[in-house]
Chain A
């Protein structure tokens, strides 16, 4: 409320413009905007001037020029492909390391977090040692440790003398282990694959319908719905029928050493950079997630556990039905944070020659691509990843949050 000043004679006076609070606020905001915009413009102008003085171009045309270098452990990549293709390969590699790291970190973090609260002294201590060790080591050191300990100085032989394992008396190799690349079997889609996926989708729809029917039966008559079993059974039947109709949907591709003995052909090839980064970041982030889970379990009121014990629930039932549902609600936002950290920490894969997006961007900058534009593209990639993960998990969070009415 702006009060008009009253002078000693009781008359209202008007305020000088340079003391009028509204004018001052407006002017300050205008000046602030000009200052910020001016600063940013000046910085960009400086950058462009300096680049032009040295004849370095400032547009994004470099994305269409050939990459000129080969991506390690990616035989299919043609060095004459454009830089944009290289960026896509980097995005794919970062995504793969990120998703498998996230899965490993979540499962391990949950287990270790719960173990730390176990009444079994040995289990609790082992979990505590694990958390305290890994949480206090920088992630780069963990990655280098796994890269060196597992592979460079590790127990696996050189590729020419790789260990080949076969199970169940099969004549194919199931597992090839060496200190640069591992081979595991994979599936190759044949012609019938499309039909099989149609069958899977139909099966899922049918399972959903059956689950809804069983729920209605339960509501009407009170008989146990067993909807999970019914849905699962329906899905399996429909999918199996789809598989029979489709015929040759997928065939197995077995890893085998190529003729030269220095490469694995066939199967799924996991290179040592990928394994080091995924395992190292999975274990590192799991230690953080374990602490988050432990904190969130301790945040559930003790009365809940006591009530669960009072109605004779076993420890597993207590966790599954009472404690964890309440604890995980609290844990979701910090865990989202850890997932984002894991994804950004994959950029440390440079140390173990893993061809993720930061590594490829730095290599291309070193080979003559303009640095500012390449870094802008790199930042855009990480921003896209982070925003996607945050968005998905925030949607989930909003659904499971307890809303105070």
Chain B
């Protein structure tokens, strides 16, 4: 009798736990959840100079990290209300699909396959990049053909891995890709000569070139061939349009502010007769679920696109002028839809 009673109590407990855990509401209200929670869970990189690194005190910094703060400032009103989740290339999409993070801002390339197969929605491109290869300058390589039979270091689960295979096979150059799980394992292998070349996004390579040479390593050369298009931007889950739009308009606000000439110095009390500017700075509520003053919060707490870019990217060797990341009025591709 006692055994049966105990067993029944156990089953009841199990049922209660199951009921408490299960909350499959069908998705679609991540915005409300984030506002409830009060912090943004942002997936970032911790080993990509310029885009996502950890400093000596354990604080995340970088171009992508700043956009996490932009989203937090826009939606929550506080740029510091972010919890950073460091992810490797292999786990970033699984973390997004499972709900471990709200948004992934981790130098991730927008491709059709990822849109379709990863259950991901890619938002406004914040950085137009391309894939390149880096070799030690002492090898004297100048083109892809020189890399016949070479061992090439690459990160697993990236578009660079697939592009490398496609491009080299198309040109008929034999090669051997050595895939590593993250850059901390890849870099020693590259520096000790286990691979003759390192392939990644050109911006990433510029960061590593600066780091390696800055720490007294061998001189590096980035080959002139750019072998693919790599548009990098924030990523959210499929199936939640309200959240996607909230994040996207927060990110695009930085580009629009740049176009209007608004930066973190002059945003507070910015005077203008242009009704577009007045609307932009809080005169309009387009029912996106964002607070009316979200632009002012973003620009005052973080900055506009140009300021964010100049805080991180020129330091790894890519100044803004002449790149596709310039404003559209200066010949680049940064073009925000009108806030109207």
Contacts and interface: CB of A to CB of B under 8 A. Distances in A.
B97 A363 contact: no
Given A56-B118, A68-B162, A262 B150 contact: yes
Contact of A79 (B24, B119, B169, B178): B169
Nearest to B23: A46
B192 A152 contact: yes
A118 interface: no
Contacts of B192: 152-153, 179
29 contacts: A31-B8, A32-B7, A32-B11, A39-B14, A55-B238, A55-B239, A68-B162, A68-B165, A69-B162, A70-B165, A70-B176, A72-B177, A79-B169, A153-B188, A158-B194, A260-B149, A260-B150, A262-B149, A262-B151, A262-B196, A353-B189, A359-B179, A362-B181, A366-B91, A366-B158, A367-B161, A368-B114, A370-B117, A371-B97
A70 B237 CA distance: 29
A11 interface: no
Contacts of A79: 165, 169
A129 interface: no
B90 A54 contact: no
A370 B273 CA distance: 53
Given A152-B194, A262-B149, A366 B89 contact: yes
- Sort A-B residue pairs by CB-CB distance and give the 6 closest, nearest first: A366-B157, A54-B119, A158-B193, A366-B90, A368-B117, A263-B149
A400 interface: no
A109 B9 CA distance: 50
Contacts, number: 138
A262 B195 CA distance: 10
Interface string B118-149: 11100000000000000000000000000011
A55 B151 contact: no
A79 B18 CA distance: 44
B97 A366 contact: no
A55 B116 contact: yes
Contacts of A25: 4
B18 A69 contact: no
A246 interface: no
A69 B165 contact: yes
Interface string A243-272: 000000000000000101111000000001
B93 interface: yes
B22 interface: yes
Contact of B18 (A39, A75, A263, A367): A39
A32 B15 CA distance: 11
Given A363-B157, A366-B90, 11 more contacts: A24-B4, A35-B14, A55-B116, A56-B117, A152-B192, A152-B194, A261-B149, A262-B196, A263-B174, A272-B194, A368-B93
Contacts of B24: 46, 49-50
Given A153-B188, A363-B156, A73 B176 contact: yes
B289 to A, nearest CB: 20
A213 interface: no
Interface residues of B, number: 56
A51 interface: yes
B12 to A, nearest CB: 10
Contacts of B185: 351, 353
Contacts of A261: 149
A107 B275 CA distance: 83
A371 B119 CA distance: 12
A56 B239 CA distance: 12
Interface in A1-40: 24-25, 28, 31-32, 35, 39
A32 B10 CA distance: 10
Interface in B154-180: 156-158, 161-162, 164-166, 169, 174-180
B57 to A, nearest CB: 27
A69 to B, nearest CB: 5
A396 interface: no
B5 to A, nearest CB: 10
Given A152-B192, A371-B94, A54 B15 contact: no
B113 interface: yes
Interface string A337-366: 000000000000011010000010011011
B176 A55 contact: no
B113 A368 contact: yes
A165 interface: no
A42 interface: yes
B232 to A, nearest CB: 17
A79 B179 CA distance: 14
Most buried by A among B148, B169, B185: B185
A367 B162 contact: yes
B26 interface: yes
B27 interface: yes
B240 to A, nearest CB: 9
B161 A69 contact: yes
B172 to A, nearest CB: 13
Contacts of B194: 151-152, 158, 179-180, 272
B93 A72 contact: no
Interface string B25-49: 0110000000000000000000000
A148 interface: yes
A363 B155 CA distance: 9
Contacts of A56: 97, 117-119
Contacts of B175: 70
A53 interface: yes
Interface string A178-197: 01100000000000000000
A179 B176 CA distance: 15
A76 to B, nearest CB: 11
Contacts of A153: 188, 192
A159 interface: yes
B189 A152 contact: yes
Nearest to A73: B176
Contacts of B177: 69-70, 72
Interface string B57-76: 00000000000000000000
Interface string A154-186: 000011000000000000000000011000000
Nearest to A80: B169
Interface string A38-80: 0100100010011101111100000000001110110100010
B149 A368 contact: no
B176 A72 contact: yes
A73 B175 CA distance: 9
B119 A51 contact: yes
Contact of B97 (A49, A54, A158, A260): A54
A261 B178 CA distance: 18
